[in-house]
Amino acid sequence: MKTYNVVLLPGDGIGPEIMDVATKTIDYVAQKYNFGIEYEQKLIGGSAIDKYNDPLPEETLKACKSSDAVLLSAIGSPKYDALPREKRPESGLLNLRSGLGLFANIRPVKVWPALISESSLKQEIVQNVDLVVVRELTGGIYFGQPKGRLQSENGERAFNTMTYSTMEIDRIARVAFELATDRKKKLCSIDKANVLDVSQLWRERVIELSYNFPKVELNHLYVDNAAMQLIRQPDQFDVILTGNLFGDIISDEAAMLTGSIGMLPSASLRLEGPGLFEPVHGSAPDIANKDIANPMAMVLSAAMMLRVGLKENNAADDLENAIDKVLKDGYRTSDLMTNGKKVLGCREMGEQILMSLAAA
Ligand code: IPM
Ligand code: MN
C-alpha cells in the first residue's frame, strides 16, 4: 500500500476545527482507494509563538521539507498585533512559503451551481465564472530589499521595494501558460506597466514567453482595470497571471464572486518538492471555538492536495463531489446565505460531508 507523509498545520483561530473535518474526510477516501496517510502535526503562527516564541519553528520547516505535502488551515490573531512584524503569525506563513520555495500560488475560483444566488453579483454575471489566479508568491514587494523604516529630519519614513528578476517572472509565467494550455487557453497578465518599471519588465518577459505557447491567447490588463473587469464581466477570464501583491488583492476580490471566501482552496507549489495546500480564507478569530466555521474550503484544499500533490485523483474527485452534494442537498454554514436552508455547525457539516462520501 502506498503511504504518504503529510504535515498538518492547524494554526490558529478556526484552524484546528476545520482541520479536524478535513482529516476525517481524507481518512475516508484513503481507506476507499487503498492508500495510507501518515500525519505529522506541527505548530505555526500564533500557536507556535505561544510555545516557542517563533512563528515558524525550525522543527516545523524541517518536517515540511521532508514531507510529501503540507496541509495548512490558517494563521493569525489580533492577540499578536503588538508584536514586531517578524515575530507575528503572518511571518510564519511567509517564511514557510519562501523556505519551501513555493513560488506558484494557484487559486481556482469556480461558482458552485447551488450557490449562484448567494453571490453579491447578479446570477447572469457570475454563473459562468471558472477562473484560476496564478499569483507569484515568493517575490515582489512582499520580499523585496531594501525595506524598512528610517528616522529622518522630517519624521519617520518607511519603505518596501517591488522587484522581480527575469528568472522569477519567467518561471511563474511558464506555470500560468502551461495551466492555460490545459484549460480554455486564455491568459490575462495583470500589472501596472503604465507606471512601474517592475511591471514593464514583467510585461516584456510575459510577451517573450508567449512565443513558446502560440495556442494560448494572451492579453494584459492594468491592475486597476482588472479589478473593475472582474466585477463587470468575470467570465471573460480563464487564467490570471500576476505578482505577489496584486495577486493577494485580486484573489480576494475574485473569491467574492462565488458568494463566500469560505469555499476557496489554494495550492502553493514549486517545480519539485512538497506543495502547501490551504484555504484562501483566514483564521477568523471572531468565530473560533464556536463550532460555526465553514470547513468546506479546508476540505477542498485537501482535495487539491490529493489531486495536485499526491496524484490521487479519484479521492480528490470524491471530496469535491461530496461538497457539491451537501450544497445541493441544501446544507449551509452560517457564512453562506441561509434563507430556507439547513444551517449546520462546523462539526455537523463535517458529518454531512462524510455521509455524502458514503453515499457516493
Ligand atoms: C493570503 C494572506 C497572506 C498574504 C497573509 C496572511 C500574509 O492574505 O494568503 O492571501 O498576504 O499572502
Ligand atoms: Mn490574502
> Any idea what the Cα angle at residue 112 is, between residues 74 and 236, rounded to 5°?
100
Which residues are tagged catalytic? 142, 192, 224, 248, 252
pLDDT(360) > 90: no
Q: Considering the domain boundaries, does residue 118 fall inside one?
A: no
Percent of residues, the chain, with pLDDT higher than 90: 93
Q: Considering the domain boundaries, does residue 27 fall inside one?
A: yes
Convert the pLDDT of each residue in 124-161 to its tens digit.
999 999 999 999 999 999 999 999 999 989 899 999 99
Ligand 1 pocket: which of 85, 94, 244, 248 to mutate (most atoms within 8 A of CB) = 248
Angle between the N-to-C axes of helices 346-359 and 296-304, in degrees from 0 to 180, rounded to the nearest 10: 50
Query: pLDDT at position 242, please?
Result: 98
Q: Which residues surround ligand 2, an ion (CB under 5 A)?
A: 248
Residues 161 and 240 in one domain: yes
Q: Considering the domain boundaries, does residue 121 fall inside one?
A: no
Q: Considering the domain boundaries, does residue 123 fall inside one?
A: no
Q: Considering the domain boundaries, does residue 320 fall inside one?
A: yes
Convert the pLDDT of each residue in 225-268 to its tens digit.
999 999 999 999 999 999 999 999 999 999 889 878 889 999 99
Residue span of the structural domain in which 339 resides? 1-110+261-360
Residues 170 and 241 in one domain: yes
Q: What's the predicted TM-score (pTM) here?
A: 0.95
Answer with the one of 231, 256, 281 that is the final residue of a domain.
Answer: 256
**Burial (0-12, 13-18, 19+ Cβ within 10 Å), 43:** buried
Domain count for the chain = 2
Answer yes or no: is 26 a known binding residue.
no
Residues 246 and 161 in one domain: yes
Answer with the one of 222, 256, 290 that is the final residue of a domain.
Answer: 256
With b for 16 or more beta-carbon neighbours within 10 A and e for fewer, the 120-156 pattern comes to: ebeeeebeebebbbbbbbbbbbbbbeeeeeeeeeeee
Q: How far is the CA of 284 from the centre of ligand 1 (A)?
A: 13
Convert the pLDDT of each residue in 193-231 to its tens digit.
999 999 999 999 999 999 999 999 999 999 999 999 999
Residues 210 and 175 in one domain: yes
Q: Considering the domain boundaries, does residue 124 fall inside one?
A: no
Around Cβ 118, how many Cβ atoms within 10 Å? Answer: 22
CATH assignment of the domain containing 310: 3.40.718.10
Query: pLDDT at position 179, please?
Result: 98
Q: How far is the CA of 248 from the centre of ligand 1 (A)?
A: 7
Q: Considering the domain boundaries, does residue 46 fall inside one?
A: yes
Ligand 1 pocket: which of 87, 90, 98, 105 to mutate (most atoms within 8 A of CB) = 90
What was the ipTM of the complex prediction?
A: 0.99
Residues 41 and 146 in one domain: no
Query: pLDDT at position 337, please?
Result: 85
Higher pLDDT, 338 or 243: 243
Give dist(CA 223, CA 262) in Å, integer. 24
Q: Considering the domain boundaries, does residue 122 fall inside one?
A: no
pLDDT(339) > 90: no
Name which residue sits closest to atom 11 of ligand 1, judged by CA. Answer: 248
Residues 233 and 181 in one domain: yes
Give dist(CA 125, CA 121) in Å, integer. 7
Average pLDDT over residues 313-332: 97
Among 131, 197, 209, 211, which residue's Cα sits nearest to residue 164?
197
Convert the pLDDT of each residue in 153-192 to its tens digit.
989 999 999 999 999 999 999 999 999 999 999 999 999 9
Residues 248 and 320 in one domain: no
Answer with the one of 210, 225, 256 that is the final residue of a domain.
Answer: 256
Residues 146 and 237 in one domain: yes
Average pLDDT over residues 83-96: 95
Cell of residue 240, nine digits? 490570471
Residues 153 and 106 in one domain: no
Residues 135 and 247 in one domain: yes
**Side chain identity, residue 120:** S
Convert the pLDDT of each residue in 23-82 to its tens digit.
999 999 999 999 999 999 999 999 999 999 999 999 999 999 999 999 999 999 999 999
Residues 154 and 233 in one domain: yes
Residues 224 and 138 in one domain: yes
